[in-house]
């Protein structure tokens, strides 16, 4: 089996976290992943959805993803209503760049709603294998919607000098203002920041962190898949020579101007990984080792990722005569 080949994972048990959220615990010993990464689940009807791992690879615990129901959401409702112990699901290997490069720093974490799932993986990993401090601000509508409340309470009690959890409930405190977010963040402006949650909450936090000149900010966005996921039509212009290393094999292709990299790979019969096709999940992340590309949309890669050559195949169009890409 190649590194990017789909896996079949058996669900060992389903945990009801809240009325609207379930964790799927997999019987998958040895699954290698980094804290903050996600799994892409392939569902009936050719649908794929990404769900973050809320478990930690640094603890003796089975891997699990956590799914919160979305109104009218096909994937979340099918998983919550249909999957039970013994169900086998086809998934792509763990992916995503929302992961600390080192667990030894200090972390300022913001989560909203189900955005706690990758954040919890980071929290547990830093406490288990790192040395730094963690401040977590977790926003929810009300107390009943707080996912992992008991887990967070236990972790904070076990690590009182390293983990401080601030719960923000809209039903009690209202929506957080910029001034309130600034007051929460300012004492920790030297920490690495990781954010995951709904768009308006994320934008408010981002604005505050940037005003405080926080140097390292990582963002994971949850978005609905509403855009056109089909292939873009070729544009007039030169054709790029494309060299691709994928699954241990080298491929030489022609890349027409204006075409997205993922479309070229899929049209050539290559099994390149992808999920949302909207530049929002990083399932299609690859590395540009030579040449230039332009991203039509990017909701997930930060400046350091881009500087290291990471790109999103679903949004990359060629900008140079020769481009070399590596997935290996």
Domain identity same for 135 and 175: yes
- 235 belongs to a structural domain: no
Please give the pLDDT value at position 129.
Answer: 97
Backbone phi, psi, residue 244, to 5°: -130, 130
Domain identity same for 91 and 119: no
- 100 belongs to a structural domain: no
Q: What domain range includes position 191?
A: 107-221
**CATH code: domain of residue 167:** 3.40.50.80
- 230 belongs to a structural domain: no
- 176 belongs to a structural domain: yes
Kindly give the confidence (pLDDT) of every residue in the chain, 328 residues in length, as a single tens digit, with 9 standing for 90 and above. Answer: 234 567 899 999 999 999 999 999 999 998 999 999 999 888 887 777 889 999 999 999 999 999 999 888 888 999 999 999 999 999 988 888 889 999 999 999 999 999 999 999 999 999 999 999 999 999 999 999 999 999 999 999 999 999 999 999 999 999 999 999 999 999 999 999 999 988 888 889 999 999 999 989 988 865 544 333 333 444 556 789 999 998 888 999 999 888 999 999 988 888 888 877 888 788 899 999 999 999 999 988 888 889 999 999 999 999 999 999 998 7
Please give the pLDDT value at position 4.
Answer: 54
Please give the pLDDT value at position 18.
Answer: 95
Q: Can you give the three-state secondary structure of 142-203, one letter per residue? A: CHHHCCCHHHHHHHHHHCCCCEEEEEEEHHHHCCCCHHHHHHHHHHHCCCEEEEEECHHHHH
Domain identity same for 144 and 202: yes
Domain identity same for 209 and 293: no
DSSP, res 275: S
Angstrom distance (rounded) from CA 118 to CA 136: 12
With 0-12 CB in 10 A as exposed, 13-18 as middle and 19+ as buried, what is 317? Answer: buried
* Cα distances (angstroms) measured from residue 187 to each of 12, 22, 108, 249: 42, 35, 10, 49
- 228 belongs to a structural domain: no
Q: Nearest-CA neighbor of 13 among 24, 4, 28, 1?
A: 24
**CATH code: domain of residue 252:** 3.10.20.30
Domain identity same for 195 and 251: no
Residues 139 and 113 sit within 8 Å (Cβ to Cβ): yes
Domain identity same for 247 and 306: yes
Angstrom distance (rounded) from CA 302 to CA 313: 15
Domain identity same for 204 and 305: no
DSSP, res 36: T
Please give the pLDDT value at position 40.
Answer: 84
Domain identity same for 171 and 247: no
Number of separate domains in the chain: 3
Dihedral angle sign, alpha carbons of residues 201, 203, 209, 215: positive
Count helices and strands (H / E) in the chain.
8, 18
- 102 belongs to a structural domain: no
Last residue of a domain, one of 95, 116, 135: 95
Please give the pLDDT value at position 236.
Answer: 52
Domain identity same for 211 and 244: no
Please give the pLDDT value at position 1.
Answer: 27
Domain identity same for 13 and 87: yes
Last residue of a domain, one of 43, 71, 95: 95
Domain identity same for 245 and 291: yes
Please give the pLDDT value at position 199.
Answer: 80
Angstrom distance (rounded) from CA 290 to CA 327: 13
**CATH code: domain of residue 77:** 2.40.30.10
Last residue of a domain, one of 95, 119, 154: 95
| Cβ atoms within 10 Å of 67's Cβ, excluding its own | 27
- 2 belongs to a structural domain: no
- 146 belongs to a structural domain: yes
Q: End-to-end distance of the chain based on CA atoms, in angstroms? A: 14
Domain identity same for 284 and 312: yes
Question: Measured in whole angstroms, how far is the alpha carbon of residue 166 from the centre of its chain?
Answer: 23
């Amino acid at each position: 089996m190649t590194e990017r080949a789909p896996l079949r994972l058996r669900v060992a048990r389903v945990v009801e976290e809240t009325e609207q959220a379930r964790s799927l615990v997999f019987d998958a010993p040895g699954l290698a992943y980094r804290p903050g990464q996600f799994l892409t689940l392939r569902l009936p009807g050719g649908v794929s959805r990404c769900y973050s791992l809320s478990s930690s690879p640094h603890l003796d615990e089975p891997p699990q993803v956590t799914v919160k129901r979305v109104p009218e959401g096909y994937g979340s409702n099918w998983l919550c209503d249909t999957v039970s112990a013994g169900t086998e699901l086809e998934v792509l290997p763990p992916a995503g760049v929302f992961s600390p490069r080192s667990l030894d720093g200090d972390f300022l974490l913001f989560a909203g709603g189900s955005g706690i799932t990758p954040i919890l993986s980071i929290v547990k990993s830093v406490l288990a294998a790192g040395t730094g401090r963690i401040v977590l601000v977790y926003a929810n509508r009300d107390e009943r919607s707080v996912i992992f409340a008991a887990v967070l309470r236990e972790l904070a009690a076990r690590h009182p000098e390293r983990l401080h959890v601030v719960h923000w409930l809209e039903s009690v405190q209202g929506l957080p203002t910029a001034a309130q977010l600034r007051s929460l963040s300012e004492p920790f402006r030297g920490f690495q920041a990781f954010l995951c949650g709904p768009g308006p909450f994320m934008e408010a936090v981002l604005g505050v962190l940037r005003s405080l000149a926080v140097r390292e900010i990582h963002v994971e966005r949850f978005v609905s898949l509403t855009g056109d996921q089909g292939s873009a039509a070729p544009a007039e212009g030169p054709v790029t020579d494309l060299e691709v290393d994928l699954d241990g094999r080298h491929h030489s292709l022609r890349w027409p101007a204006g075409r997205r990299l993922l479309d070229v790979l899929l049209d050539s019969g290559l099994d390149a990984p992808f999920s949302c096709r909207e530049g929002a999940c990083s399932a299609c992340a690859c590395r540009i080792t030579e040449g230039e590309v332009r991203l039509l949309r990017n909701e997930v890669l930060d400046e350091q990722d881009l500087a290291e050559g990471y790109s999103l195949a679903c949004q990359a169009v060629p900008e140079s005569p020769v481009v070399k890409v590596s997935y290996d």
